Amino acid sequence: MLQLLENAQKFGNGTAIISNSKSYRYSELLDVSHRVAATLMNNKGDLNETRVAFMVNPGFDYVATQWGIWQAGGIAVPICISYPAESIEHVLDDANCSVVVTAGEYFDILKPLVNQRELRIIKTNEFYADKDGLPEIEIDRRAMILYTSGTTGKPKGVVTTHQNIESQIKTLVRAWNWSSDDHILNVLPLHHVHGIINVVSCALWSGATCQFINGFKAEKVFEIFLKGNINVFMAVPTIYYKLIAYWEQLGLDEQKELTNRLTQFRLMISGSAALPVSVMDKWKTISNQTLLERYGMTEIGMAISNPYDGERRPGHIGQPLPGVQVRLVDDSGNRVPNGESGEIQVKGSNVFLEYWKRPEATKESFTTDGWFKTGDVARMDNGSYKILGRTSVDIIKSGGYKLSALEIEEVLRTHPSIKDCGVVGIPHEEWGELVCAGLVASGKIDMDELSEWIKLKLPSYKTPREYKVLDDLPRNVMGKVTKKELQQLFIEAS
């Protein structure tokens, strides 16, 4: 049995999950996940890495579904609950999913897509009770496919094995002192490694309690904090920015009450995007907590972290986590001396297996001696890594997501009034980077119509926040768009 599930058996009567105002014990989670597995297997005995997509709200049903897929021998393929139809279709087709599990509220969205592909669809309230005959799952089996934009247009499927996932969890449990006494509130999406691994999986591995809320509202988050149970919190910089803004408009007595409560937390973490020093400083004033910043990505889980005990340096991501190897190299692949910048490369059992059905992309992402090339540039600064930027201007980090400018451009070019376009990110205190698009029109562009149109094509976190109509995009002598010049046009106008 997988170690995550073995641990859950030991915590039987402990509270595993709180969602929709209801508490669920570890024993209940195991019972329902067994029923999920039996239903998925449908008397087959073993799914043998069949891809099972699931579109389920964060909470008990999500975790039970994910665990059930794993126990049945399948590969879990979570779908973002805010995806438009085109994004869902890409995941279903690229992963070649055979089964789709859905919460009732998404059934009408998924049904026509499933029917077109003749897939099996199961609602989360349709799992039956036969729990016998679950297969033995080897740790080196493929476990999950998460879709990430990466450096090419269409999102790529990042494949992790059970061993990769276990390694990612173990290193964080050790580094961040997780225990069964912990109680964390999840406000993060669960099609992203930050929510799946760092929050939910680490909590349940440790016998802790993971609480969920439906949708982020600063007022609701603070209301839950004041109840006194939560002692660990993880979020992206954008969320801390929103919490700060809400706190600042409260009365003095309410501010003091929240500050007293936040001071009692054991750990608060920020990740998935660079944390502005101004946000870190404001949050410390409010909470007396120095946010722990760390570094990771879908392909590697977490690789570098500021210490749990010890100095957490603003603007720095810390040191390699236990069991993770990290090096900085120049363009020729040679290690750089301390103080000089280089690309971050990572090696360890935490590193993903492959990009799904993309052997060339997988090969290009690794050095000949097995180091994963992250594309991020950093330097070692007095014993702590500091992120300097990325090797590609086509990667945008906004609101905790790593976005492909190329993917967004491909979608925009399908609009009948757009002849060409260029997408860039510009620095922004709340979002990390703001997605901006320079447009070359083939006719008159109705911006209101464009805003509504793009919502049907891309998830909200990928849609441009600012547009600029240009006679032409800035280009070099070879005709290639010069993204840095395009960025400057938006920066100067902001």
d(CA 30, CA 7): 11
Helical H runs in 43-189? 60-71, 85-94, 107-117, 162-175
Q: Residue 144 carries which side chain, given as an amino acid letter?
A: M
| Encoded tokens for 424 | 């860039």
With contact defined as beta carbons under 8 Å apart, do 389 and 319 qualify?
Answer: no
Tell how many helices (H) and how many strands (E) occur in the chain. Answer: 16, 25
pLDDT tens per residue across span 471-490: 999 987 556 788 989 999 99
pLDDT tens per residue across span 3-55: 999 999 999 999 999 999 999 999 999 999 999 999 999 888 899 999 999 99
* Residue whose C-alpha is closest to residue 270's, from 281, 261, 260, 259: 281
d(CA 195, CA 214): 14
Query: How big is the CA angle at 232 (ends 380 and 244), to the nearest 5 degrees?
Result: 80
Domains of the chain: 200-390 (3.40.50.12780), 395-493 (3.30.300.30)
pLDDT tens per residue across span 124-140: 998 876 766 899 999 99
Widest CA span in the chain: 68
d(CA 56, CA 128): 18
pLDDT at 478: 53
Tell me which residue has tokens 């997501």. Answer: 401
Low-confidence ranges of the chain (pLDDT < 50): 150-151
With contact defined as beta carbons under 8 Å apart, do 116 and 98 qualify?
Answer: no
d(CA 18, CA 401): 26
Tell me which residue has tokens 């990042």. Answer: 158
d(CA 301, CA 319): 15
